[in-house]
Amino acid sequence: MRTQFLRNLLSVILVLWICSSQIFAFDREDLDQLLRTNECSDCDLSQANLIGMNLRGADLSDANLQGANLRGAALMFADLSDANLVGANLSRANLYATNLYDADLYGANLYGARFCNTVMPDGRTAIKGC
């Protein structure tokens, strides 16, 4: 009896986990638009794998990048103002002259990210790494 209950419980947890990862997945059309035009304002790129991508000068203002992997991405001169970067991986990303004004970086991994002339969420300009 107990074994059957545990199997059922595991099945329910697995189904919920699969469904939740699909709900929060990025919109493929939005990613295609970004790759084609370098503009994706107000796009859903949550959980997207953008490791090492060249996004220099990209318009990602108001974009949902929650949980996105931007490790080592080139984001120089990009506009990420008002972007949702909660839990995003920005480790080793180049954020030179990037606009992060009013972006939500809660829980983001910023290890080794380069901040130079970067407009931070509070409006101040960072000069670390210049």
Looking at residue 70, which CATH number applies to its domain?
2.160.20.80
Examine residue 123 and state whether it is found in any structural domain, yes or no.
yes
Examine residue 17 and state whether it is found in any structural domain, yes or no.
no
Left, alpha or beta for 9 (phi > 0: left; psi -120 to 50: alpha)? alpha
Kindly report the pTM of this predicted structure. 0.79
pLDDT of 32-66, one tens digit each? 899 999 999 999 999 999 999 999 999 999 999 99
Q: Which of 74, 61, 105 is nearest to 87 (CA)?
A: 105
Examine residue 99 and state whether it is found in any structural domain, yes or no.
yes
Residue 1: the pLDDT is 60
For residue 33, the surrounding DSSP H or E stretch is helix 28-37
| Non-local CB neighbours of 57 within 8 Å, separated by 6+ positions | 38, 76, 77, 78
Examine residue 11 and state whether it is found in any structural domain, yes or no.
no
Q: Which domain holds residue 39?
A: 27-130
Residue 72 and residue 22: Cα distance in Å, rounded? Answer: 25
Examine residue 83 and state whether it is found in any structural domain, yes or no.
yes
Examine residue 112 and state whether it is found in any structural domain, yes or no.
yes
Examine residue 56 and state whether it is found in any structural domain, yes or no.
yes
- Total domains, the chain: 1
Q: 10 vs 113, which has greater pLDDT?
A: 113
Mean pLDDT of 92-121: 97
Examine residue 14 and state whether it is found in any structural domain, yes or no.
no
Mean pLDDT of 113-130: 91
